[in-house]
Structures are given as C-alpha cells and as structure tokens.
Amino acid sequence: MRFAVHKKGRYGDLSPAQYLQYRRTYFRYLSRLRFSDNSHLLRYFGDSFFHDASIRSIELYPQQNIASVTIWRDNDREDLNTFREKNGLKEISSLEYERKPIIYACNFAGIKSVTVKGKLPSVLHVDIMDTEIGWNKRDNIFSLLFSFTETYEILISFSRCTVAIHDKDLISFYTGGLRITLPWCALCRSNLVSKRSFINNSSYGRNRR
C-alpha cells in the first residue's frame, strides 16, 4: 500500500493534499499499535528511513526462531561526505562505501513466517522502495513488509524487532576520528519515528533524495 502511494506521490498522480491525508491516516493507524517492546520497529520502519537502502543479507535461524536482515544506506555516505567536506576530508566514493558500508543489523525474534511475494528481479540487487508495519492485535504479532518493486516484496511476521548499527569504529574512521555516531542530516533524522511523531504530522510528505 505505501509503495503504491509513494509511487503516485513521486510521479504526480497524487496532489499534496491527497498525500498529506494519506500520511495522516497511516500515522493514526500506527498510533493505535502497542510498540512497548518494539520501539526500534517504530523508530526505523515507521516512516521511510530505509527508503532507497540496500539489503546486504537475509539470514534465517529456525532453531532460534530468529531472522536477521542487514541493511546499508547510500544516504549515510552522502551525510558522511557533507561532514567530511566541512572538516577538510576527502570524499568517499560510492564504490568505496559499497565495499565497506555502515551496516544496520535488524533482528527479528519470535518469527512466525517469512513470505516472498513475486519474482526476484534479474539484477544484482534491488533497493528498498518502502516498508510497512502490520499488527495482529489478537495475537500481538507484528509484520513488516519490504517492498522492492511493484511485483517483488518480502513479508516477515514476528514478535520483536531490534536494530543496531554495526562497527561503530567504522563511523570513527569515516569521520576522521571526530565522531562515533553518524552525522545524519535533518531529513534523515525526521524519518526516525517516535510516539511524539504522531502528535504533529501535519507537514506534507518529505522529498526523496
């Protein structure tokens, strides 16, 4: 659903007012979910923080009932380069960063199912176009839909999600030893969702990079 709406918004098939109404409806839906033990799920997947990000790996551990998805964002490279330029450091090339990116490890516990919808495109990799959170209220089970193309999606159902940034020493390396946290831009920070986000979501959908 979110993929279809964002596509319409991107190519002008929705007016700003229509897109704004959709965002309000979706945030009202999220505000009714119980994220007590799943603040990371809301923070990283409630909006479009991983829009245009790339999945490095998907691993399933049936005996532990766990799934692990590792993701990296070229937007982080852009933010790092903005920081490096301000501090007189050389730009990181896209090839260099793709070889050794900052990794987000997304771990899903209490796995109920992993479903692939559609056929994997015949390309080296596809970027995440959007993610959408679902919730089974009766069983208190969450689901997360990764949309890649109009015909290819992965749906994971689980009880708990945690997200961690791997190898913070690499952040220090990329920032010339000046930081140990990513220098996210204001747009990226605005796509990290908390319950406070539901109080004020009146602005029109953010522009994509």
114-172 pLDDT, tens per residue?
A: 998 887 655 556 788 888 999 998 888 999 999 888 778 899 999 999 999 988 899 99
User: What pLDDT band is residue 201 in, cutting at 50, 70 and 90?
Assistant: low
Sequence-ordered strand ranges (E) for 44-173: 54-61, 66-72, 104-109, 113-117, 130-136, 141-149, 152-158, 160-165
pLDDT value, residue 208: 42
Indicate the range of 12-16, 142-146, 193-197 predicted with least confidence. 12-16
pLDDT value, residue 204: 34
Say whether pLDDT at 203 is over 50: no
Strand partners, 55: 71
pLDDT value, residue 95: 95
pLDDT value, residue 159: 95
Dihedral class, residue 152 (left if φ above 0, else alpha if ψ from -120 to 50, else beta): beta
> Largest alpha-carbon pair distance within the chain?
55
34-84 pLDDT, tens per residue?
A: 888 899 999 999 988 998 899 888 899 988 999 999 999 999 999 999 999
